């Protein structure tokens, strides 16, 4: 009975509780892992990755997914967007990145609407099986961005051959 009274969280990262399950597009997703993005010696955000099958390749598997980011410090929208774009550029040949560029600009526009990713803000990057939706503090922001290739490019920021942080990639994959 005591287990029923406990919250459903699987991890605590940098003081942020990260739930073990979430829902995107009526699909229940499982946390594969969580970690902290550091820049120099600053903790920037806690992040969790949710997919249907935590043991399968997160980038290749189809269906809804979520990258859940919890800001640990204030970051300007331009700086946040540029960091995402840099992560995509690092994991794609130039021609592939060029094909994503217009959608990267769409994402930058959504972030510009926010002006700043503030400490305490929860930013989810959801793939609903058709498009990417940015969700801030539980509310959709901006228009959805088309293309599964775009969402896979987002995932490669953290899980690609050149992730933004090696130990973060390992943490998001549950230590694998």
Q: What mean pLDDT is predicted for residues 67-71?
A: 97
What do you get for the CA distance between the two ends of the chain, in Å? Answer: 33
In a domain, 89, yes or no: yes
In a domain, 114, yes or no: yes
Q: Beta partners for 67?
A: 49, 125
For residue 5, what pLDDT is reported? 38
* Total of domains in the chain: 1
Closest CA relative to residue 49, chosen from 28, 35, 63: 35
pLDDT band at 2 (very low <50, low <70, confident <90, very high): very low
Closest CA relative to residue 25, chosen from 126, 110, 125: 126
pLDDT above 80 for 123: yes
For residue 176, what pLDDT is reported? 62
d(CA 113, CA 103): 16
In a domain, 1, yes or no: no
Tokens at residue 143, please? Answer: 């228009």
Answer yes or no: are the C-beta atoms of 44 and 37 closer than 8 Å: yes
What's the pLDDT tens digit per position in 75-85?
Answer: 999 999 999 99
Q: What mean pLDDT is predicted for residues 135-163?
A: 97
In a domain, 2, yes or no: no
Answer yes or no: are the C-beta atoms of 13 and 150 closer than 8 Å: no
Coil, helix or strand at residue 134: strand
In a domain, 130, yes or no: yes
What's the pLDDT tens digit per position in 8-36?
Answer: 446 789 999 999 999 999 999 999 999 99
Count other C-beta atoms under 10 Å from residue 171's C-beta.
Answer: 22
Coil, helix or strand at residue 118: coil
**CATH number of the domain encompassing residue 74:** 3.50.70.10
For residue 41, what pLDDT is reported? 87
Taking the C-alpha atoms of 116, 13, 39 and 70 in order, what is their torsion angle to the nearest 10 degrees?
Answer: -10
d(CA 93, CA 175): 27
In a domain, 137, yes or no: yes
Global pTM? 0.91
Q: Beta partners for 133?
A: 126
Per the structure, the complete domain to which residue 149 belongs is given by 7-172
pLDDT above 80 for 164: yes
* DSSP assignment letter at 8: -
């Amino acid at each position: 009975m005591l287990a029923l009274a406990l919250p459903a969280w699987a991890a605590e990262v940098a003081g942020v509780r990260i739930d073990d399950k979430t829902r995107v597009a009526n699909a229940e997703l499982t946390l594969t892992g969580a970690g902290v993005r550091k820049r120099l010696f600053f903790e920037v955000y806690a992040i969790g990755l949710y997919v249907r099958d935590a043991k399968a390749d997160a980038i290749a598997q189809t269906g809804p997914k979520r990258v859940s980011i919890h800001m640990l410090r204030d970051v300007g929208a331009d700086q946040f967007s540029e960091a995402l774009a840099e992560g995509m550029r690092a994991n794609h040949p130039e021609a592939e990145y060029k094909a994503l560029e217009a959608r990267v600009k769409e994402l930058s526009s959504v972030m510009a609407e926010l002006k700043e990713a503030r400490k305490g803000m929860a930013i989810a990057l959801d793939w609903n099986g058709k498009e990417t939706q940015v969700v801030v503090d539980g509310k959709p922001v901006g228009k959805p961005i088309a293309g599964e290739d775009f969402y896979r490019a987002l995932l490669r920021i953290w899980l690609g051959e050149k992730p933004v942080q090696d130990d973060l990639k390992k943490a998001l994959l549950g230590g694998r």
